[in-house]
Structure 1
Amino acid sequence: MTAPVRTEDSQEARGSRETRGSQELIRAEGPVLAHNYHPLPVVVARAEGTWVEDVEGRRYLDMLAGYSALNFGHRHPALIEAAHRQLDRLTLTSRAFHNDRLAEFAERLAALTGMDMVLPMNTGAEAVESGVKVARKWAYDIKGVPAGRATIVVAADNFHGRTTTIVSFSTDETARAGFGPFTPGFRVVPYNDLAAMEAAVDETTAAVLIEPIQGEAGVIIPDDGYLAGVRELTRRKGCLFIADEIQSGLGRTGRTLAVEHEPVVPDVLLLGKALGGGIVPVSAVVGRREVLGVLHPGEHGSTFGGNPLAAAVGTAVVELLETGEFQRRAAELGVILRDGLTGLVGKGVVGFRSRGLWAGVDIDPALGTGREISERLMREGVLAKDTHGSTIRLAPPLTITGEELRGALAALEKALG
C-alpha cells in the first residue's frame, strides 16, 4: 500500500521533528502524564484525510478514526472552513447569553434525527450523564416514580464512558476497580436478551439505556428484532428507550443512526464524537419534547455546551450528513470490508462482526493478542486498535477509498502471516 506523497511541510514542523523524535517524545510523556492510556508507539504530528504522519515523516493509514470522532477524516475542508470562519467571529459566550449559531445547530440536528429538542454538551460521557439525569427527572415528574427510587436498565459489557456514575453500571472491572462507592439505581442484564430485560423492567424503571451496537465490547451486533423488541417493551412498560449512538451514529454503519437498521425511533438519542468533526468536542442529548422538556433553568448545564464554535462545526457536520453521501459510502465500502474479512477467516481471523465501515475482528489467539496484531499493523503502515483479548477494531474515516481499504486488508493479511 502506497501512501500519498506529502505536498507541503513547513520549516517549523521539520525543525520540531529534528529536535525531538518519536522515542524522545514518548519517553518525555512518562514522568508528566498520568498513565491512563497505553498508546501504540507512534507520535502523530500531521494528518490529512485518511492519513496521519509521525514526527519523522512516516505515514500511516488511519483505520480507527478516533473511535468514530473522525468519521469525515482529518481536517475535512468544509469543517476546517467552518471552524476558521467562526474563530474569526466568536468562540464562547457561555449559555448565560444567546449566541447566533446555536439555534441553527439545534434546528438542523433535530431535523436530521427526527427529534424535537436538543441539549448540547461537550463530551460523550457528558451526554450519557445528561441522559441519565433527564431520564430520572422524567420518571419523577411525568411517570410518577417515588422520589429517589428511579432505576435504569442497562446491558452487560456496555461502554458509555468512564465517569463515576457511568462506571457504576459497567461490567468491566478494569474501569471499575478502585473507584467505588458506586452510584445506585442501575440494573444490568445481558445484551441481546429481551427476556432478561423484560424481567428487569418494573414500575420504578425510568429508562432502558443501550448501545444499538456495542463498540468497545468488539462491535457486537444484536440479533435482528432486538432493537424493535426493546422499543416495544419500553412502550408497553411505560419507560424511555435511550440509544447511545455516540460511536455508532452519524453515518458509521451506513445509516445516519444505527437504530435505523430496524424500524425503531427511541425517545432519546445520545450523540457525540463525529458531531465535533474531529475539531472540537461536541455532544448532544436529542429527544422528544415531552422528555427534554422536563429540564428547567438551573437544573443542568455546561459552560462550554452549545458554544458558538462547537455549534458552527456541528452545523457543518450535519450539513455533510444531510446529503446522504457519507451514509452511502459507509454502506458501499462496508461491502468491501466485509468481503475482505470473510476472505481472511481461517487465515488468522477466527470470526468478525461488521456493519457499514465498522468491524470487530477476532484474531486467532495463537497468533498474538489484539495489541500485538495492532503493533504489527502499525509496522505495515496501518493504525488500528485492540479491544478485549485478541479482538481488534476497524473503523476508518468514511472518506476512505476502496483502494485504501483494500490496502488495509492486505496489510492485515500480512500482519497475520
Structure 2
Amino acid sequence: MNAVKTGSHAASTLEKTPVGDLVDGKGHSSGAEWLTRYSTSLMGVFGTPQRVLVRGAGCLVWDADGKEYLDLLGGIAVNALGHAHPFVTSVISSQLATLGHVSNFFTSPTQIALAEKLLALTHAPAGSKVFFTNSGTEANEAAFKLARRNGASPDGTTGKRTKIIALEGAFHGRTMGALALTAKEAYRAPFEPLPGGVVHIPFGDVAALEAAIDETVAAVFLEPIQGEAGVRPLPPGYLKAAREATTKAGALLILDEVQTGIGRTGKWLATEDAGIVPDAVTLAKGLGGGFPIGALLTFGERTSSLLSAGQHGTTFGGNPVATAAALATLHAIESQRVLENVAVVGDYLRTGLAAVDGVTEVRGEGLLIGFDLDADVAPAVVTAGLDAGFIVNSPGPRTIRLAPPLVLTKDQAGTFLAALPAILQTAKDAQ
C-alpha cells in the first residue's frame, strides 16, 4: 500500500495495518479485546455491543472469533439484499471510482434516475418530488419542516396550523424534530424542551384521531406498522379514516415507511394497497441495501411546493454513490423477484412461529415480524439466540422482532424455527 504523502501518523499506521486485515479480522484481536478497545474509544450511547462482527455473506455474518450467525435482524431492516451482495457492491465500487461526491451545488445522473424510479414505483401523481437524505431520521426531519410550512401563513410566518399529531408508541428518530414525534418518554425526557406542537394520541383509535384533527393541525405522522413498539400494524380502515380527516381539515398525511418500505412487507410500500394517496412518505433503511440513504417523497404539486429554495438542505444527501447503491438495490429486488420471496418466507415464518410453545401472538407482514412470549424473557432470548447462532431483537420484555434480509430462504427460516424451542427454554432457565 502506498502511504499518503503527508507524513501523518495515520498514513504510516495504514501502511503497517492494511485496512483489509482490519475489516476481516485476520491476525488481529479477539472479540473481547476489540470490545475493550471499544469501551475506551467510543461513546457509550449504545451500551456494550453484543458481538464484534467482521464479515457477512448473504444472510450470514461472522464475528471476530469466527462464530457464524444467521442474521434475522438485517441491521434493523436495512440489509435488504443481505450482506456483500455482489451486484450492489460492484455498482458502489464502480460509482465511487467514477464520481463519489459533488455537494448540493450540483446533481448527478444517479440522483435524477433514482428520484424518477421512486416516483414510478410509488405511483406518485403528477407534480410529485423527492428530497434525498442520509438516514430515516433526517427524512423525518425534512417531513417535520414540510409540516411546519403547511402551517405557515402566506407571508411566511407561522399561521393557525401549529399542531402536529403522532401516535402513542411512535418511533420516528432521535434528532430533535424526529424525537418530538417519537413517543417514548425515556428517549424524550433527557432532551426536553423539544420542538413544540406535537400531540400524541392513542394508537389505532379512529375516534381519537378524528377528534384530534381540526383546522389547527398541520400534519399527521403515521407508521403503517410500528416497529419499535413491537411490530404493531395499524388496524384495518385506520389509514382511510386518517386520509379523510386530514383532507377535510387541510392537514398533511405523512407516512413514515422508513422501516416498512422498499419491499419489507412484500410490497414497495406497506400502504400501497390501502386505497389512499398520502401527502408525503419517508423512506430509508432498505433503500440503499446497507448503504446510508433516506428520502422524502412529496405527492402532488401543492405538497411538493411547500419547501422552497434555501429552506432545507444537506451536504451528503443524494450523493452519487448512495443513489447508485439505491438504484442497484431496487434493480436487484425487481430482477430477482425478491418481493415474491418476502411474501412466501414471511408467511412460512409467521405460521411456524404461531405453532411454537411459549409464543402467544405473532404480528406483522412480509419479513417484518413481531412475536410475543408467555414470560418476560425476550432479552434473555436475544442472548440465547446469539449463543445458538441467531441474531434477533427484543423491542420489549415479552416481544421479539425479526427483520431479516429480504432474500432469507425457507430453509434458513426453518433452522430458526427448529432451534427456537430450545432457545426459549434456555432463556427461561436463565431467569
TM-score normalised by length of structure 2: 0.89
Q: Which of residues 391, 401, 414 in structure 1 aligns to 2:399?
A: 391
2:226 aligned with 1:214: yes
2:422 aligned with 1:411: no
Residue deviations 1:146-187, cap 9 Å, x none?
537421111011000011222223331221122111211111
Residue deviations 1:1-23, cap 9 Å, x none?
xxxxxxxxx99469944431001
**Is 1:135–1:207's contact at 8 Å kept on the other side of the alignment?**
yes
* Corresponding residue for residue 14 of structure 2: none
**Is 1:51–1:60's contact at 8 Å kept on the other side of the alignment?**
yes
* Distance apart, 1:88 and its partner CA: 0.9
Q: Which of residues 44, 69, 72 in structure 2 aligns to 1:63?
A: 72
* Distance apart, 1:395 and its partner CA: 1.1
Structure 2: state its 5+ residue gaps.
1-18, 426-431
Tell me which stretches of 4 or more aligned residues in structure 1 moved more than 6 Å.
Answer: 142-145
* Distance apart, 1:319 and its partner CA: 2.1
* Corresponding residue for residue 19 of structure 1: 28
2:377 aligned with 1:362: no
Distance 1:11 1:232 in 2: 55
Residues 98 and 358 of structure 1: is their aligned pair in 2 closer, same or farther, counting only changes over 3 Å? Answer: closer
Residues 146 and 177 of structure 1: is their aligned pair in 2 closer, same or farther, counting only changes over 3 Å? Answer: closer
Q: Amino acid of the residue matched to residue 294 of structure 2? A: S
Residue deviations 1:14-39, cap 9 Å, x none?
99444310011112211221111135
Q: Which of residues 294, 316, 338 in structure 2 aligns to 1:283?
A: 294
2:281 aligned with 1:269: yes
**Is 2:224–2:270's contact at 8 Å kept on the other side of the alignment?**
yes
Q: Which of residues 241, 245, 260 in structure 2 aligns to 1:229?
A: 241
2:53 aligned with 1:50: no
Q: Amino acid of the residue matched to residue 393 of structure 2? A: K
2:317 aligned with 1:293: no
Q: Secondary structure at the match of 1:405?
A: helix
Q: Which of residues 158, 183, 208 in structure 2 aligns to 1:171?
A: 183
Distance 1:179 1:204 in 2: 26
Distance 1:44 1:191 in 2: 36
* Corresponding residue for residue 130 of structure 2: 118
Q: Secondary structure at the match of 2:315?
A: coil
**Is 1:354–1:360's contact at 8 Å kept on the other side of the alignment?**
yes
Aligned Cα root-mean-square deviation (Å): 2.1
Residues 354 and 98 of structure 1: is their aligned pair in 2 closer, same or farther, counting only changes over 3 Å? Answer: closer
Q: Which of residues 408, 417, 423 in structure 2 aligns to 1:400?
A: 408
Please say which of residues 26-35 and 134-143 is displaced more in the overlay: 134-143
Residues 256 and 16 of structure 1: is their aligned pair in 2 closer, same or farther, counting only changes over 3 Å? Answer: closer
Q: Secondary structure at the match of 1:206?
A: strand
Distance 1:405 1:150 in 2: 47
* Corresponding residue for residue 360 of structure 2: 350
**Is 1:256–1:321's contact at 8 Å kept on the other side of the alignment?**
no
2:109 aligned with 1:86: no
Residues 62 and 143 of structure 1: is their aligned pair in 2 closer, same or farther, counting only changes over 3 Å? Answer: farther
Q: Secondary structure at the match of 2:219?
A: strand
Please say which of residues 144-153 and 376-385 is displaced more in the overlay: 144-153
Q: Which of residues 136, 145, 157 in structure 2 aligns to 1:133?
A: 145
Residue deviations 1:45-92, cap 9 Å, x none?
000100001112111000000111111111212211110110110110
Q: Secondary structure at the match of 1:260?
A: coil
Q: Secondary structure at the match of 2:406?
A: coil
Q: Which of residues 30, 38, 45 in structure 2 aligns to 1:36?
A: 45
Residues 38 and 107 of structure 1: is their aligned pair in 2 closer, same or farther, counting only changes over 3 Å? Answer: same
**Is 1:45–1:55's contact at 8 Å kept on the other side of the alignment?**
yes
Q: Greater relative contact order (Cα 8 A, min sep 6): structure 1 or 2?
A: 1
Query: Percentage identity across aligned positions?
Result: 36
Residue deviations 1:116-151, cap 9 Å, x none?
210111111000000010122133267999537421
Residues 322 and 141 of structure 1: is their aligned pair in 2 closer, same or farther, counting only changes over 3 Å? Answer: farther
Distance 1:133 1:405 in 2: 41
* Corresponding residue for residue 326 of structure 2: 314
* Distance apart, 1:226 and its partner CA: 1.3
The count of corresponding residues between Structure 1 and Structure 2 is: 403
* Corresponding residue for residue 172 of structure 2: 160
TM-score normalised by length of structure 1: 0.92
* Distance apart, 1:335 and its partner CA: 1.1
Residue deviations 1:343-363, cap 9 Å, x none?
11xx12122212111111112
Residues 230 and 153 of structure 1: is their aligned pair in 2 closer, same or farther, counting only changes over 3 Å? Answer: same
Residue deviations 1:284-335, cap 9 Å, x none?
0012232122222211000001111111111222223445822211111111
Distance 1:263 1:356 in 2: 19
2:211 aligned with 1:203: no
